[in-house]
């Protein structure tokens, strides 16, 4: 029952990623963010009063649908509003707030022992998020793509004024370039050799990150320790991941830290599986290192994905590849709970092997540090031309 309960949330994530990806491109990032918050507020409260297991599964799927939509819409809006030089920093900080939520959750659960009231408490912030609609502007980039350059210029001028900057004089040229960009299709992701390689490797890494990350989180519930303390510790180790990324990506590059993070996560899972429970401190320490590694890998795949696709197909590429994250989230509970019935540590063996493979595949990707974002498929296929 627990594995199905966890998987239904990820089913909602999977459907929501495609549905809200379309809504955000069709009606705007801001309106899709508002719709997701309305849906989350309603389904979150309904979930708290759901009368039976079947209704809980259905409503939880809808809750996941809205959560993924809100996450995607806000992330895209945020990265499109800030300047290019701050995009990676903002993206990583965005992920760090997720880590803060993981730390707060066990504290709330410790004091609110009734899961229905806990559900109400974690749903309440969505009421506040509704106010964002009146404070956050629409993405100028999206407005330009909709041939609404006047509104985009108005928003951009207001942003420049607030930051005491002068707006670039080539705004009209940028608008024309954005509006004239070619349309993307799924075939573009696999038609040529390098694009196909990037797509398959990134899809596998998204899948791996979700399986290992969610698997390690859920394993806290069956490991036999203090679930509140173990969950809190596992959340705290996520913060060094963000700082390691910020420290290494411009000094070392993307590929080596990305691959290393996966390999460290895989090695930690394998080692943890064979450490006896009598040495609990060591088992916990190595498991935390694994959580650190997979968190770093998870955060890196997000922006590495954007750097390996040309402009006109970038959003589609990220949407398709990241959908494997949700597939991994659906699979992870069944891997964990069903295999743990055979041997408690068997899921860790699977996680370790998969993470090792993912790390090795990352080494086949090109380094993107200091390389301009590609604009065409030719930039991907002939990078040295």
Q: Residues 201-254: pLDDT tens digits?
A: 999 999 999 999 988 888 876 666 678 887 888 788 888 888 898 889 888 999
Lowest mean pLDDT among 8-12, 159-163, 266-270: 159-163
Contacts of 155 (CB under 8 A, 6+ apart): 137, 138, 140, 143
Contacts of 162 (CB under 8 A, 6+ apart): none
The yes-or-no verdict on residue 373 having pLDDT over 80 is no
Q: What is the pLDDT of residues 299-352, one digit of tens each?
A: 899 888 888 988 778 777 888 888 899 999 899 988 888 888 888 889 999 999
**Which pLDDT belongs to residue 184?**
67
- What is the pLDDT averaged over residues 257-277? 94
Q: Provide the percentage of residues in the chain whose pLDDT is more than 90.
A: 39
Task: Determine the straight-line distance between the first and last CA of the chain, rounded to whole angstroms.
Answer: 55
The yes-or-no verdict on residue 197 having pLDDT over 80 is yes
The yes-or-no verdict on residue 178 having pLDDT over 60 is no
Q: Are 188 and 195 in contact (CB under 8 A)?
A: yes
**Which pLDDT belongs to residue 222?**
64
- What is the pLDDT averaged over residues 75-94? 79
The yes-or-no verdict on residue 381 having pLDDT over 80 is yes
How many C-beta atoms lie closer than 10 Å to residue 244's C-beta? 19
Residue 275 backbone phi and psi in degrees, to 5: -85, 125
Enter the tokens of residue 180.
């004239």
- What is the pLDDT averaged over residues 181-202? 86
**Which pLDDT belongs to residue 173?**
59
User: What mean pLDDT, rounded, does the chain reach?
Assistant: 87
**Which pLDDT belongs to residue 118?**
96
Q: What is the pLDDT of residues 118-147, one digit of tens each?
A: 999 999 999 999 998 888 888 887 888 778
The yes-or-no verdict on residue 182 having pLDDT over 80 is no
The yes-or-no verdict on residue 167 having pLDDT over 60 is yes
- What is the pLDDT averaged over residues 366-371? 86
Contacts 24+ apart (CB under 8 A), 97-105: 99/235, 99/238, 99/239, 99/242, 99/295, 102/217, 102/231, 102/234, 102/235, 102/238, 103/232, 103/235, 103/236, 105/231, 105/235
d(CA 316, CA 313): 5
- What is the pLDDT averaged over residues 369-384? 83
Enter the tokens of residue 117.
């009231």
Buried (b) or exposed (e) across 256-282, using 16+ Cβ within 10 A? ebbbbbbbbbbbbbbbbbebeeeeeee
Q: Rounded to an integer, what is the distance from CA 166 to the centroid of its chain?
A: 34
| 189: nearest Cα among 285, 311, 313 | 313
Enter the tokens of residue 273.
């599986």
Q: C-alpha distances in angstroms, 285 versus 104, 227, 280, 350?
A: 21, 16, 8, 20
d(CA 208, CA 215): 10
**Which pLDDT belongs to residue 212?**
94
Q: C-alpha distances in angstroms, 29 versus 20, 25, 119, 195, 278?
A: 9, 7, 27, 27, 52
Sign, CA dihedral 206-209-212-217, equals negative
d(CA 324, CA 302): 12
Cα–Cα–Cα angle for 302, 368, 141, rounded to 5 degrees? 60
**Which pLDDT belongs to residue 223?**
62
In order of their start, the domains of the chain are 1-136 (1.20.1250.20), 188-385 (1.20.1250.20)
């Amino acid at each position: 029952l627990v594995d199905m309960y966890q998987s239904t949330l990820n089913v909602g994530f999977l459907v929501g990623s495609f549905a809200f990806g379309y809504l955000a491109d069709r009606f705007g990032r801001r309106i899709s963010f508002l719709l997701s918050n309305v849906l989350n507020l309603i389904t979150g409260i309904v979930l708290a009063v759901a009368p039976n297991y079947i209704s809980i599964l259905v409503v939880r799927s809808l809750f996941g649908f809205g959560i993924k939509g809100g996450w995607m819409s806000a992330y895209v809006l945020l990265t499109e509003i800030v300047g290019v030089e701050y995009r990676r920093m903002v993206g990583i900080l965005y992920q760090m707030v997720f880590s803060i939520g993981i730390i707060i959750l066990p504290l709330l659960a410790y004091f609110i022992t009734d899961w229905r009231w806990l559900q109400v408490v974690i749903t309440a912030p969505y009421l506040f998020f509704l106010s964002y609609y009146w404070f956050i502007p629409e993405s100028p980039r999206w407005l330009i793509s909709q041939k609404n350059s006047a509104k985009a210029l108005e928003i951009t001028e207001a942003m420049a004024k607030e930051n005491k900057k002068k707006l670039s004089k080539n705004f009209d040229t940028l608008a024309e370039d954005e509006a004239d960009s070619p349309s993307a299709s799924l075939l573009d992701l696999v038609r040529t050799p390098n694009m196909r390689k990037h797509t398959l490797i990134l899809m596998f890494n998204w899948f791996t990150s979700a399986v290992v990350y969610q698997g390690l989180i859920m394993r806290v519930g069956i490991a036999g320790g203090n679930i509140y303390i173990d969950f809190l510790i596992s959340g705290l180790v996520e913060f060094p991941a963000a700082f390691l990324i910020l420290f290494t990506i411009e000094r070392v590059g993307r590929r080596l830290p990305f691959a290393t993070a996966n390999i460290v996560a895989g090695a930690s899972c394998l080692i943890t599986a064979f450490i006896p429970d009598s040495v609990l401190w060591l088992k916990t320490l190595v498991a935390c290192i694994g959580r650190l590694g997979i968190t770093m890998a998870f955060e890196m795949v997000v922006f590495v994905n954007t750097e390996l696709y040309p402009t006109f197909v970038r959003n589609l590429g990220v949407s398709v590849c990241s959908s494997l994250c949700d597939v991994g989230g659906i699979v992870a509970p069944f891997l964990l709970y069903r295999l743990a019935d055979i041997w408690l540590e068997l899921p860790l063996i699977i996680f370790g092997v998969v993470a090792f493979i993912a790390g090795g595949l990352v080494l086949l990707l090109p380094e993107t540090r200091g390389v301009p974002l590609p604009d065409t498929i030719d930039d991907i296929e002939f990078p040295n031309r």
